[in-house]
Amino acid sequence: MANGQWYPPQWPARIRALAAGDLTPVVPRRAATVLLLKDTGDGPAVHLLRRRASMAFAGGAYAYPGGGVDPRDDDHAVAWAGPTRAWWADRLGVDASGAQAIVCAAVRETYEEAGVLLAGPSADSVVSDTTGDDWEADRAALVARELSFAQFLDRRGLVLRSDLLGAWARWVTPEFESRRYDTWFFVAALPEGQRTRNASTEADRTVWLTPAEAAAGYDRGELLMMPPTVATLRPLTAYGTAAEALAAAPARDLAPVLARARLDGDELVLTWPGHDEFTKRMPPTAAEPTGGAPA
């Protein structure tokens, strides 16, 4: 049985167009996503949401809460706790302003899409309840970009807890995609007292699954996922608790993973360096042209 690797039908034509010099790669937008973990009797479970089938990008695929950086995420008015911006800059491979924006995007998007907030009244506390009409009004204002994350934290008297995040991986959308993201993946434990909910208009379902369950569902072809989702899930099976996964994060390699495409004769070969399981070989269809230079 085929696995659940998400693969859009327009990729072969776009890859050939890129190879022929007829397609100019889009500059990737910075983004962040968070693998929320909670401990169970079978080890940590991870929070996944299923993207609506109507979505132009990865419709029907399971993913984590996340999204693009807001231009205001690098606002220096953001109240900050945990490792310094300079520390995060070194860890993420960007400058200090970019590091703050990426970390803020991770925390903000998790709140916007899952209702979970990695922030607290002080550097050593975290909010325990984000429910209620007033919280929902602020969340909706963040989603609508009527409120910046710095303004939200200031209004609530909260400090962003960067120490609750662990940088896990970095993947860049292939050059032949029309929407591209340079995405940092983080792990974080669900704060005590908080609960996830489907707060995203882009998702029609949310689940908590152990990494082993999720990966097995993908392997059986039952759960549709993009390569970065599966690749970040599999290593989590080695850890018995969320705390163990977070403790392992500083040693994780954050070298960006970028898919590569080439022509082997008339056959397209798509690879993700370091992740052989996602390699695809695609013979031309009757509707596709053949020939051209390697990508």
d(CA 40, CA 241): 8
- CB atoms inside a 10 Å sphere around CB 141: 15
Residue type, 174: P
Range(s) of the domain holding residue 176: 30-254
Q: Is residue 249 included in any domain, yes or no? A: yes
- The percent of residues above 90 in pLDDT, for the chain, comes to 66
Measuring CA to CA, which residue among 23, 26, 43, 11 is closest to residue 180? Answer: 26
As a whole number, mean pLDDT of residues 9-19 equals: 82
User: How far are the Cα atoms of 6, 107, 131 from residue 139, in angstroms, in the given order?
Assistant: 30, 12, 10
The CA distance from 87 to 95, in Å, is 10
Q: Are 78 and 160 in contact (CB under 8 A)?
A: yes
Question: Which 3 state secondary structure label does DSSP give 273?
Answer: coil
Identify the pLDDT of residue 55: 64
Domain membership flag for residue 140: yes
The domain total for the chain is 1
Helix (H, G, I), strand (E, B) or coil at 72: helix
DSSP for 3-66 reads --B---TTHHHHHHHHHTT--PPPPPEEEEEEEEEEEETTEEEEEEEEEPTT-TTTTT-EE-SE
With respect to residue 232, please indicate whether it lies within any of the assigned structural domains.
yes
266 domain residue, yes or no: no
Residue 113 to residue 64: CA distance in whole angstroms:
9
Q: Give the integer Cα–Cα distance in Å for 211 and 226.
A: 15
* pLDDT band (50, 70, 90) for residue 57: low
Report yes or no on 206 lying in a domain. Answer: yes
pLDDT for the residue 10: 80
Predicted TM-score (pTM) of the model is 0.91
Report how far residue 107's alpha carbon sits from residue 161's, in angstroms, rounded to the nearest whole number.
9
Is 101 among the domain residues? yes
Asked if residue 286 has pLDDT above 60, the reply is no
Q: Please tell me the predicted confidence (pLDDT) of residue 47.
A: 96
Confidence band for 80, pLDDT divided at 50, 70 and 90: very high
Q: What is the pLDDT of residues 253-285, one digit of tens each?
A: 999 999 888 878 778 888 999 999 998 887 776
| 61 is a domain residue | yes
Is residue 91, in this structure, part of any structural domain at all? Answer: yes
CA distance 13 to 11: 6
The CATH code of the domain that includes 38 is 3.90.79.10
DSSP 190: P
Residues pairing with 169 in the sheet: 185
**DSSP 8-state code for residue 276:** G
Per-residue pLDDT of 179-195, as tens digits, reads 899 999 999 999 999 99
